[in-house]
Structure 1
């Protein structure tokens, strides 16, 4: 699906934040209007076959559809997504994707023995072998500077509109090699936010520009898996990684920087990619 067609995909307009009445209890009891982030069931339907239902924020859904399809290995390139329709369906939203015959045949094979689905993380898998599928090895050795990392971290908060309004959301962003934020997405699910960024960057004319991903969440295995599957070789996370995530990143050739703060960062995998640590094994 071309960048232009992705941008033109029919969209269900949702505010992302909704008002609700609440009571604030302090020295006095006060009735207030609270702003709450929306959380909506979003079904991904491929060629008429429902594959997964995610709880997600109802924004950037065209990017989410493409990013999820790429990062879960359902399609290999954006061109294998032929069409996308976004429609209201009961209490949720359906992302109706039309994909080419080759990936759809693979998806049907993958689904034949499915007994259930996960609402987040590793979706549409039926076994440990499927969940822990071999990851490609990425050979990108482009240096990543601490200055770029800190610039990207400083650029997150001003772009987190939903988080300022209501909190309760994660953000994922794509930064240029110099740390300038090119795109940011927010979602109640950290993996959903990352999929939205993957889709937005893949849908650009000319493909994803050089750079690295920045995440406001902890770095878990499925995020490394999504990065490796889509060729993202550097991840910066504000929170800590899991041991399995670091082991997977080490095997896949992904530089992992986490516990990223203004005063310090910790490099967990492939430290030689960090310009300040050049020569470190």
Structure 2
């Protein structure tokens, strides 16, 4: 579904946001995520805010409420939630605007060491505890793996799209925490490896990069192989269900990596 423009939101919804964010003077629509009906930078009388909004009737609207609940418990490399407004049938979240461009994971990219350092920080971050709700990885992957393979108490982002890593001259911000889980500390890095292979790395080169992340370097090899196999299988299922070519490309990259690990 095409993204909406700010002015297409109901007037009461916009007014409720402006009561928190300031008068909206200009709007820059951006393409981000796959759930929100609107994603935009709001240039207001109080500054700039990244806004994502979704209809309350959207089948995944609960992800926005979950992201708002989790945000205060996430590491410093995550843009902070400024406000959470629900009005006129809409859920609207406003975050600190994260500067930067999408991370480049191609071979030779200068972003790669910083990306490894960023994933190392996440891998060392404990998952929030109750009453904050976060799905266990054992539930997320229950149809593919025994629970002991992915179980753990670490914060896991799970969506390693390069669009979720914004690089500026000083830092990398990690955005779109709609689907995190609690699990083993090496899961995110393992999920990123298929994206490096898709970008042109050999499986050996991708593993050499991943070894910069201590949690992955010290992770159980058999569990990593089992998880990589499950990821490749799930990507192949998505490729059958969705026409977007990147699903097939990720599935192919995942299968290449699994073959490499089994032959090594």
Q: TM-score w.r.t. structure 1 length?
A: 0.30
* Between structures 1 and 2, the one with greater strand share: 1
Q: Which has the higher contact order (CA 8 A, sep 6+)?
A: 1
* Greater helix share, structure number: 2
